Amino acid sequence: METAKKQFNIPIAKPTLIGDETELIAQSLQSGWVSMGPLTQRFEQAVCEYTQARYGVAVNSCTSALHISMLIHGIGAGDEVLCPSYSFIATANAIRHSGAEPCFVDIDPNTLNMDPQAAEACIQERYTSEGVNRKTGRKLKGILLVHQLGIPADIDTFAALAKRYHLTLMEDNACGLGSTYKNNPLGSSGFTNSLSFHPRKVITTGEGGMLLTNDETLAEKARVLRAHGMSISDFVRHQSAATTYERYDVVGYNYRLTDMQAAIGIRQMEHLESFIVRRNQIADAYNQAFGQIEELSIIQPPTYVTRWNYQSYPLRLRGATQTQRDEFMLALQQQGITTRRGIPPMHKEPVYEQGIVLPQTETVSKTSVMLPIFPTMTDDEVRYVIDCVCLQITHLVSAKQPVS
């Protein structure tokens, strides 16, 4: 098979660590606060300032933040929550962790996010006017809106939908830090947001997450739940001039972030804008190269998406089968380019199989490929990916031609 001239080994993603994180980590080690302490608070403040959220509650993962989001809104056993099937499985897992069950909704293939019309149709078809599922008897309580791959979903439309049906709207903002919706940063909506700082996200703390809210009462509930249900944190207790005793009024969890992780996060936040600028430069090169190729489909976000952080770069192979998509990925892998398939639908996984059909979700998943994108990717590597993709598309087209 013909290959591009120069060989690279390019991962799908790579965490961008500048090197100045180590100084702040050392300060944490020297201070004795290696668990949740002053640097955690500083990290929370930095994220809140950036996102314009009032309160941030740092936790050990986005999944933990999502779980706490359910709990502080009173969602639990006997309840259901609408969410897309086209998302990482942690979205549904967090709902189930709370005791509730996910109700999967199809996506808009032009945004990869939950389709508001499909969501309303689901509500009307599956639930009574009182919000009771006609088959399961469970009560519909909320909507978990995912900003997939950092592409902002239409928050205002879903806010109106949630209000119309008396539902709690929450945002799975795992990928969205740095993206903007109608010129406002994701996280500023006032609805409970959950962020991720996994190594594949725009900034990383290794593992970690954060819950954002504008409601002080909800924030305090979240702080208690993340630390075993402790009414007063270790940091506050140790700062007190008087003898202070904590209480345990609720069953909590050990979802705490460490100050060592927070140290990394503080430094990462200082470079976030430059990370997003570089991601957009790479995406612009991809868009220019692939946007005019008939066999390829790129995401062209609606006008309410005023900035996409390009946490990932999705590419769809028009008219391809899943087998052809997989062969395309294998060919790129052989040329040193790591890709990922489209997000596997959760409603097709054994743990969440419900016997439903979500045509857009299933088609997008079978025909999509995620290309490498990360801030330290060089221009030569970007050009190599473009050349290899174009070459493999040529092979794909040739394979489709009838033999005379």
Mean pLDDT, the chain, whole residue set: 94
Among 218, 242, 269, identify where a domain stops: 269
Average of per-residue pLDDT across 169-178? 98
Full domain range(s) for residue 69: 21-269
Q: What is the pLDDT of residues 355-370, one digit of tens each?
A: 999 999 999 999 999 9
Q: Is residue 14 a part of any domain in this protein? A: no
- Are residues 284 and 265 located together in one domain of the fold? no
Q: Is residue 357 a part of any domain in this protein? A: yes
Q: Is residue 6 a part of any domain in this protein? A: no
pLDDT of 192 > 70? The answer is: yes
- Are residues 182 and 323 located together in one domain of the fold? no
Task: Say which CATH number the domain at 305 has.
Answer: 3.90.1150.10
Among 238, 269, 300, identify where a domain stops: 269
Q: Is residue 305 a part of any domain in this protein? A: yes
Please write down the HEC assignment for all residues of the chain. Answer: CCCCCCCCCECCCCCCCCCCHHHHHHHHHHHCCCCCCHHHHHHHHHHHHHHCCCEEEEECCHHHHHHHHHHHCCCCCCEEEEEECCCCCHHHHHHHHCCCEEEEECEECCCCEECHHHHHHHHHHHECCCCEECCCCCEEEEEEEECHHHCCCCHHHHHHHHHHCCCEEEEECCCCCCCEECCEECCCCCCEEEEECCCCCCCCCCCCEEEEECCHHHHHHHHHHHECCECCCHHHHHHCCCCCCCCECCCCCECCCCHHHHHHHHHHHHHHHHHHHHHHHHHHHHHHHHCCCCCEECCCCCCCEEECCCCCEEEEECCCCHHHHHHHHHHHHHCCECCEECCCCHHHCCCCCCCCCCHHHHHHHHHEEEECCCCCCCHHHHHHHHHHHHHHHHHHHHHHCCCC
Domains in the chain, number: 2
- Are residues 104 and 206 located together in one domain of the fold? yes
- Are residues 255 and 295 located together in one domain of the fold? no
Among 269, 301, 319, identify where a domain stops: 269
- Are residues 99 and 25 located together in one domain of the fold? yes
Task: Say which CATH number the domain at 98 has.
Answer: 3.40.640.10
- Are residues 154 and 134 located together in one domain of the fold? yes
Please return the burial class of 357, using the count of CB atoms within 10 Å of its CB with bins 0-12, 13-18 and 19+: exposed
Average of per-residue pLDDT across 319-328? 96
- Are residues 263 and 281 located together in one domain of the fold? no
Residue 243: what pLDDT?
A: 60
Q: Is residue 8 a part of any domain in this protein? A: no
Residue 42: what pLDDT?
A: 97
Q: Is residue 97 a part of any domain in this protein? A: yes
Q: What is the pLDDT of residues 113-130, one digit of tens each?
A: 999 999 999 999 999 999
Q: Is residue 10 a part of any domain in this protein? A: no
Q: Is residue 142 a part of any domain in this protein? A: yes
- Are residues 265 and 279 located together in one domain of the fold? no
pLDDT of 375 > 60? The answer is: yes
- Are residues 76 and 160 located together in one domain of the fold? yes
pLDDT of 1 > 50? The answer is: no
Q: What is the pLDDT of residues 276-309, one digit of tens each?
A: 999 999 999 999 999 999 999 999 999 999 999 9
pLDDT of 245 > 50? The answer is: yes
* Rounded CA separation 293/304 (Å): 26
- Are residues 41 and 110 located together in one domain of the fold? yes
Tell me the pLDDT band of 395, cut-offs 50, 70 and 90: confident
Residue 404: what pLDDT?
A: 40
Residue 400: what pLDDT?
A: 66
Average of per-residue pLDDT across 265-278? 98
Tell me the pLDDT band of 214, cut-offs 50, 70 and 90: very high
- Are residues 264 and 328 located together in one domain of the fold? no
- Are residues 256 and 387 located together in one domain of the fold? no
